Amino acid sequence: MALKIVKGSIDRMFDKNLQDLVRGIRNHKEDEAKYISTCIDEIKQELKQDNIAVKANAVCKLTYLQMLGYDVSWAAFNIVEVMSSSKFTYKRIGYLAASQCFHENTDVIMLTTNQIRKDLSSPNQYDTGVALTGLSCFVTPDLARDLANDIMTLMSHTKPYIRKKAVLIMYKVFLKYPESLRPAFPRLKEKLEDPDPGVQSAAVNVICELARRNPKNYLSLAPLFFKLMTSSTNNWVLIKIIKLFGALTPLEPRLGKKLIEPLTNLIHSTSAMSLLYECVNTVIAGQYSCSVGHIKSHLLCVQKLRILIEDSDQNLKYLGLLAMSKILKTHPKSVQSHKDLILQCLDDKDESIRLRALDLLYGMVSKKNLMEIVKKLMIHVDKAEGTTYRDELLTKIIDICSQSNYQYITNFEWYISILVELTRLEGTRHGHLIASQMLDVAIRVKAIRVFAVAQMATLLDNAHLLTGNMQRNGICEVLYAAAWICGEFSEHLENPVQTLEAMLRPKVATLPGHIQAVYVQNAAKLFATILKNQEGNTDSTAAQETSQMMIDRLPLFVQSANLEVQERASCILQLVKYIQKLQQKDVEVAEEVSALFAGELNPVAPKAQKKVPVPEGLDLDAWINEPPSESESEDEQPKAIFTKEEPKHSRPRHTEVDEKELARRREARKQEQANNPFYIKASPSSQKVYQEAPGVEHIPVVQIDLSVPLKVPGLPMSDQYVKLEEERRQKERAEKKKKEKKKRKEKRSGRGKKHDSGPESEEDITPAHVVDIVTEEMPEVGMHLSDDVAQEDQNHLPVRVKICICMFCLCRPLADSEKLPVRSHRAAGAPKSSAEDGEAENATPQEPKKKSSKEKRDKKKDKERDRKVRLRCWKHFPPSGHKSDSRSTQSEGRTVVTFLVFPLPRKVCDIQGNLQDGSQVVVSVIFENKSDSFLKSMEFNVLDSLNSKLQRPEGSGPHDGLTVPFQLPPGVSNEARFVFTVQSIVMPQKLKGTLTFIVKNEDSSTHEKLDFKLHFTCTSYLITTPCYSDAFAKLLESGDLKSSSVRLEGVNMPFHHLLARICFHHHFSVVERIDSCASMYSRSIQGHHVCLLVKTSGQTVSIDAKCDEPTLLGNVLDEIKQTFSQC
C-alpha cells in the first residue's frame, strides 16, 4: 500500500519538471507563496529518492526558486550529490546549483574537494569546464589551497578551452590563497605568449587585475606589455593593457613619457569608442608630468572629449562630461574654453547629463564668467520642470557663488539680487539656504549692507506675494533673514516706519514660530532706531505714534502659542509701554532704548576659540569651585559684589583719588581680567567708539567707494548688475592701462612689447566689495588685495611664486584690543564697569613705579612661551605683507623666470614691534608655491642696514642667508619667521632682500631668485595701548613732550571713520571723543608716548600731536598724512 502511494507520487512528480514549475507559478499569481510551499514539499520528497534523475530535476527547480528569493540552503547536501553524478547532464545542473547557492560559509563545500579534483582531471573537457566555472563562483580559501596545484597544471592543458578557463580562475585562487601566487606566476607569465589569443588575453587580464592591486611587483613586466600594446590589434586586450599601464606609471614616471606616443596614436586612429575613452582617461590620470609631449596629448584629449560631448549618443555625452571633470581638477583653463558646450548640456533632456554639466560648471567659474554662468543657470531655473532638478540648480547656484569665501564674486549687489530672485521660486525646499546666504553676505560684506537692507525691506513689504505658497514650502525662511537684516542694520533703512509696519502686520502671525520670534525681536530694534531718528526732530508726536503702533500690534504676538514669540512679545510690549509713559512726560529716551541693541556684530572664525590663549596658571581641568565643604571662603564673594556695585552711580567722572593709585589699580585689574576665563573681554578702545566706528580694530575692511548706485527701486533685477559690473571693469581696466603705460615708460628697456588689447585676465578683475573672511587662512585677504596691484602676464605660464610677507608683534600677551572679535552686544557695558569699581576697592597700595616693574617682569618670560603667543597673535591679526608677482616667459622649451616686486600698499601692511624688547621685530613670511614645480633649498636673505639687522644664527657671517626650514611641493604654503634687531625706531626704513630657491621640474632644476622689499614704517613700531583720559591729561601736563601738528585737507569722510582709520592703520586708541574732536594715544615699542588731538571742521582735519621723540612724531604724522592722501 505504502509502496503504491510512493510509486504514484513518483510518477506524478516526474511530470513536474522545471517548465511545469514555472508554468505553475505563473498560473498561481494570487497565492504564489502557498503554491511554492507545496512545490518545496514535493521537492523534499523528490530529494529523498535514490533516482539521480529525480534528484537533479529537484535541484534544478530549487535553483529557480533560489532566484525567486527562497532559502534553499537546506538542500546543500543534495546539490553535492547531484554534482558527483557521473553523467554530464546532472553534473552540469549540480554545478550550476552550487555556483548559485553556495557561499563561503556553506559547510558541505569541504566535502566537494575530492569530487572537484576528479572532475578537473576528467578526460572530458566539458566536465573540467563546468568544474572550473563552478569553482570560480564558490572557491573558498580551503578549496583554493587544496586545488591550486591541480589548476596550475591545467594552465598547460592541451586544449586552449581549458587553459583559458584555468588562467582566469587562477586569479580567484590568488585572492583566496595568496601563497599560490609565487609558484604559479612564472607559468602565468608564460601564458602571455600563448599561441592561442584567448589564453593570451586571459593572462593579460589576470595580470592586469593583479597589478591594479599591487603595481610595484609588475613593473618588470612593463617592456613585455609595451611590446604587446604596440603589436596587438585586439581592442579588448589593448584596453586591459592601457589600464595596467595606468596603474604602473605613478611608480615609474619614465613610463609615462614613453606611453604618450602610442597612446596619442591610438587616440588618433581608433574608431572604437571604448578604447578611445580608456586612452583619454589614462592620459588624463597621468597629468603630473608636464613635458611638451604631454601638453599636446592633453590638448588632444580635450578635443576628443568635445567630440564625445557633442555626440548625439547620451552615453558618450555623459562619459565625456565625466572625463572633463577629471581634467578640470588639473587643467581648469583648458576646460573653461569649452564653457559654451557645457552650458549647452544644461538643455539636455537627460537629467543625469544636466547634473554632470552642473558639477563641471562649479569648477569652471572665474571672476570673469561667474555672472554669465549664473545668468544662464537662472534661465534654466525658470524653465526647469520638476522640483528636484530645480532645487538642484538652486543649490548649485549658491554653491558656485559662495565657493571659497565668495572668491569669484566681484559685485555683491548682483549676488543679493540673485538671491532675491531665487526667493520667487515656487515650491523650493531650500529657503533656509537662501536665508543663510543673505545673512552671511550682509554680515560679512559691510559695504553691501545699505543695499541689502533696502532689498530686504522690499521683501518684507511684499511678503504677501510669497505668502501664497509660503506655508507649503521653505521659502518663508527667507523672511527670517530679511527681518533680521532689517532690524540689525536698521540705521540704513530708508523708511524704517514702513518696514516696522510691515513687520507687525497681522498676517505675520501665520508664519512659523521661529520666524515670528525674529520678527518681534527685530521690530524692537527697528523701534529703537526710529525713536532715535524721530527724537531729533521737533515734532515729538511722530515718536509717540510709533510707540502707539507697537502697543497696538504687539498683543497679537503676546497671544501666540509659540512660547518664544510670546515671551519676547510680552517683554517688548511692557518695555514700549514704559517708554510711552516717559515720552508723555517729554523725557528723551532714544539714547537708552538704542543702547539695548548697541554693539557691532563681527564675524568669528569657526576655530576662534582655540586661538584664545589660555592664561598662565589656568588649568582648565581643575575644579572651578572646589566641591562643597570649603564653602566658607566663597561666602565672601557675593557680598563683595554688592558692595562694589554701590559706588558705581555716585562716582563722579574725575575723582580726587590719586592718579597713580588709580592707574595702578587698573593695571592690576586688567591683569586679573586676563586671568579670568569668565570675563567677557571687550576691547576698551572699540568700546568707546563702537557706536560710530564699529569694531574697526579687528577687521581689515577696505572702504570702497562704490561706483554704482546702491538704491534700486522695487525688487532688483540681477541683470542690471551684470551690465554695471561690465562698466566698472572697463573703467578699471582703462585706469590700469594708464598706469601700465606710465610704468612702461619708466622701464622701457626691460620687456619690449606688452599687450594692451589682450583679453581681460582673471587677476585684472577686482572685487567691488571686500568680504570679511575669518577663517584659519587669514592671508586670503592679502591675496585679494594683492590682485589689485598684480600685473598679470597674459600667457598663464607655469611657474609662479607668490610670497606674502607679514609682520606682527613679538612677545606680547594679547592686548585687550587684539582679542578676538566677540559679539559684545548688549552685555558689554555692565561687567566692565562693575569690575572697574570693584578693583579699585580691592587693590592694595603699591609703589608708583608700576610700568617699569611690569616690563622687567615680562622680560623674564622665557622665549618659548612668547613664541606661542605670537603664533596666536598672528592668526587673527590683519594680514599684511609685501606683494610680489612673478612673470615668466617661455623661450625654446626652457622656462625663464623673472620676478617683479611691488611694495604693498601701506594700508594693508601691519608691521608691529615688541613692547617688551624694544629692539626686536619679527617678520613672518608665508611662502606659497603657486607653480607646478617643486621648490626646495630656499634661502631668505636681507641686506642689513646700519639700523636693522636680520638675526642670524651664531657663527654665520653677516651676509649669509637663512635657510627656510621646509620645501614646497606645488600648491603648498608654509610660514617661516625671521627676527630683526632694530636699533633706532624713529625713522622708517626699507630693507631689500632676496629669496633664492631651486625650482625642480621633472626633467630639470633651475636656480631662481626673487627680490622683495620689507618696509618697516614708524607706525609699525607703535602698539595700540589703551589709555584713560585722566592718565592722558596727566601726560600732557607733564610738559616733557614736544609738539607738532599737521593739517589734512579735503578729507571727505565721517569723523568716526577717520578715527577708525587712524586706529586701525596706525595703532592708536581713542582716549576721549567730544563731538568733532578726539584725543588719541599710542605707545612705541621703546616706550615713547604719542598723543594726538584730532579736530575736524568741514573737510579739514587738524592733528596736533605730542611725543617725547620729535623725529618719530614727524614720521608718524607723515605716514598718517599719506594714509589719507591715498583715499
Site residues, another protein (CB under 8 A): 18-19, 22-23, 60, 63-64, 67-69, 71, 87-89, 92-93, 96, 99-100, 103-104, 124, 126, 129-130, 132-133, 136-137, 161, 164-165, 168-169, 171-172, 197-198, 201-202, 204-206, 209, 212, 234-237, 239-240, 243, 246, 271-274, 277-278, 313-315, 317-319, 349-353
Of 151 and 986, nearer to another protein (C-beta) is 151
List Cα–Cα distances, 839 to 356, 378, 667, 760, 1071, in angstroms. 65, 61, 10, 62, 21
Q: Are 7 and 53 in contact (CB under 8 A)?
A: no
For 264, other C-beta atoms within 10 Å of its C-beta total 18
CB of 317 to another protein, least distance (A): 7
CB of 173 to another protein, least distance (A): 10
Of 71 and 591, nearer to another protein (C-beta) is 71
Of 282 and 766, nearer to another protein (C-beta) is 282
Report the amino acid identity of residue 725: E
List Cα–Cα distances, 842 to 157, 644, 665, 667, 837, in angstroms. 100, 9, 9, 13, 9
Q: Which of 594, 545, 554, 560 is nearest to 574 (CA)?
A: 554
Q: Are 302 and 267 in contact (CB under 8 A)?
A: no
CB of 101 to another protein, least distance (A): 9
Of 205 and 436, nearer to another protein (C-beta) is 205
Q: Which of 164, 166, 137 is nearest to 151 (CA)?
A: 166
Cα separation, 478 vs 638, in Å, equals 46
Of 201 and 914, nearer to another protein (C-beta) is 201
DSSP string, 400-454: HHHHHHHTT-S-HHHHHHHHHHHTT-TT-S-HHHHHHHHHHHHHH-GGGHHHHHH
Of 316 and 371, nearer to another protein (C-beta) is 316
Within 8 A by CB and 6+ apart from 662, the residues are 655, 840, 1030
Of 69 and 965, nearer to another protein (C-beta) is 69
CB of 238 to another protein, least distance (A): 9
Cα separation, 954 vs 328, in Å, equals 49
Of 89 and 707, nearer to another protein (C-beta) is 89
CB of 268 to another protein, least distance (A): 15
Three-state SS annotation for 265-290: HHHHHCCCHHHHHHHHHHHHHCCCCC
Of 234 and 540, nearer to another protein (C-beta) is 234
Of 129 and 881, nearer to another protein (C-beta) is 129
CB of 156 to another protein, least distance (A): 17
CB of 300 to another protein, least distance (A): 19
Residue written as grid cell 601566487 = 181
CB of 284 to another protein, least distance (A): 12
CB of 953 to another protein, least distance (A): 50
Of 346 and 365, nearer to another protein (C-beta) is 346
Of 162 and 515, nearer to another protein (C-beta) is 162
Cell of 406: 565668495
Of 167 and 699, nearer to another protein (C-beta) is 167
Quick one: how far is CA 7 from the chain centroid?
A: 78
CB of 222 to another protein, least distance (A): 19
Of 325 and 417, nearer to another protein (C-beta) is 325
CB of 252 to another protein, least distance (A): 19
Report the amino acid identity of residue 381: V
Strands (E), 880-1033: 883-891, 894-902, 920-929, 934-942, 948-950, 962-963, 973-982, 989-1000, 1005-1016, 1022-1023
* Sign, Cα dihedral of 33, 34, 37, 42: negative
Q: Phi, psi (5° rounding) for residue 65?
A: -65, -35
CB of 167 to another protein, least distance (A): 9
CB of 52 to another protein, least distance (A): 12
For residue 1072, the cross-strand partners are 1079
Q: Which string of b and e fits 568-587 if b means at least 16 CB within 10 Å? A: bbbebbebbeebbeebeeee
Cα separation, 1072 vs 1028, in Å, equals 8
Of 102 and 1012, nearer to another protein (C-beta) is 102
| Helix/strand/coil percent split, the chain, to 5 | 60, 10, 30
List Cα–Cα distances, 357 to 362, 690, 900, in angstroms. 9, 48, 39
Cα separation, 278 vs 266, in Å, equals 10
Residue written as grid cell 584659519 = 776
Of 103 and 296, nearer to another protein (C-beta) is 103
Quick one: how far is CA 896 from the chain centroid?
A: 34
Report the amino acid identity of residue 240: K
Within 8 A by CB and 6+ apart from 772, the residues are 443, 444, 445, 446, 602, 603, 699, 701
Of 244 and 926, nearer to another protein (C-beta) is 244
CB of 773 to another protein, least distance (A): 34
Is 989 in a helix, a strand, or coil? strand
CB of 344 to another protein, least distance (A): 16
Give kind and range of the element (H or E) at residue 804: strand 801-808
CB of 196 to another protein, least distance (A): 9
CB of 152 to another protein, least distance (A): 16
Q: Are 482 and 530 in contact (CB under 8 A)?
A: no
Of 35 and 1032, nearer to another protein (C-beta) is 35
Q: Where are the alpha helices (DSSP H) in 676-749?
A: 684-689, 718-746
Report the amino acid identity of residue 10: I
Decide the pairing of beta strands 1069-1074 and 1022-1023: unpaired
CB of 303 to another protein, least distance (A): 19
